[in-house]
A and B are shown apart, each in its own frame.
Chain A
């Protein structure tokens, strides 16, 4: 099993962000995390990536508990944080070299990994320009490349297509589909058509709990459309 999440729970002060989330993931699966803002998608992903420690429960990557043996688990996870933060003054080449070496690769291995990952993420010829001068779509692909450097089997992508134009979104979706063939992926998104297009499974989260875990087709059959499923399962009205 690539990933096993059991009873994951996280509170910030008195607010319960994640309230007992559990699911598992295998190679070849692309899971779409759906849910209103503040439902706990990002917090869950951060706990799997080892950025936040859970209050309770566990996330296990290849049976390695992320909280117990953080570094060993993190070696096996590729993570694209929300908004894909990067160092703007660096070029993609320098940035990726930095991430690879900080991951413990030798200079030679790092060079090799950067070449391969920038090909996989289709970075093309802008690899020597400062990141802050590049388009949003391109910057997102740099974030992708950073997540792919160590060739992880498990990829966690927090809103990979957020803020991109339709062409860029299309390119990123193709990339996700291709990556999902031989890995396990979790992506969070607000684009329901994206889930229909690329995901093999949809997990709908509301108020820190999983309210549905099915194939997108099953949800559509039950509710008529993903949008109706989303509204029916997550309360519908906007909360303050």
Chain B
């Protein structure tokens, strides 16, 4: 036994989960469809070339909306599949702290999302060939996008821990992700400010994933946005651990 059994367990779970993404078609299909969708939105809907600007605004704008559907699909199996196959019993009879299992699984799914993001780097190179973009801003936007992805995966992980059916986990996660994202839409905000006043609407917007992503997209790093994403991830993973532990109670 090593000195830090928790860390060792987390790494073991991380490696196994990543291996399982790589040996089943899920991750490849996800990455391929993600790249296709992001390309479609950037060039067709976002008008990347029409804007005649050397930046990636057209690319990053769509991340919340694409992540919202794709990342729950990556996260839905994390716990639901273990419960369905009975392998959860193997995991929960290991002398490992629950947080190590939760964190290992989360990090593996997040890694898949990070790989998908890395594969969009040719686009970054392209804008550098076409013009001279603000590369620091683009780098910041990439980091924000990675944090955003982490938040969606953490939501997906929490929903996956609630059920044995992956599809239920998927639908719940998309629903919650949509609500948390759409809170920041002007349309929704106008609706709320008409009803309950601008101040409250403003407060609601602060809880929106979109709100925090918008600033970062422009290359502005705000501590409170980072804090927001990290807290949301921690909250969802804490919920996941509670839901997993609740199964011991029967």
Contact = CB atoms under 8 A, between A and B. Distances in A.
A89 B23 contact: yes
A137 interface: no
Nearest to B91: A102
Interface residues of B, number: 30
B93 A49 contact: yes
Given A10-B250, A103-B96, A90 B89 contact: no
A104 B96 contact: yes
A196 interface: no
B44 interface: no
Contacts of B5: 71, 103-104
The contact size tier of chain A is: 20 to 34
Interface stretch (B6-14, B121-129, B166-174, B232-240): B6-14
Interface string A1-40: 0000000001110000000000000000000000000000
A53 B249 contact: yes
B9 A102 contact: yes
A53 B246 CA distance: 10
B127 to A, nearest CB: 39
B132 interface: no
B94 A102 contact: yes
B93 A99 contact: no
Interface string A64-102: 000000111011010101110111011000100011011
B97 A71 contact: yes
Nearest to B90: A85
A160 interface: no
Contacts of B185: none
Given A71-B5, A98-B15, A102-B12, A50 B90 contact: no
Contacts of B92: 50-51
B248 interface: yes
B72 to A, nearest CB: 22
Interface in B1-45: 1-2, 4-5, 8-9, 11-13, 15-16, 19-20, 23-24
A41 interface: no
A146 interface: yes
Interface of A: 10-12, 46, 49-53, 70-72, 74-75, 77, 79, 81-83, 85-87, 89-90, 94, 98-99, 101-106, 146
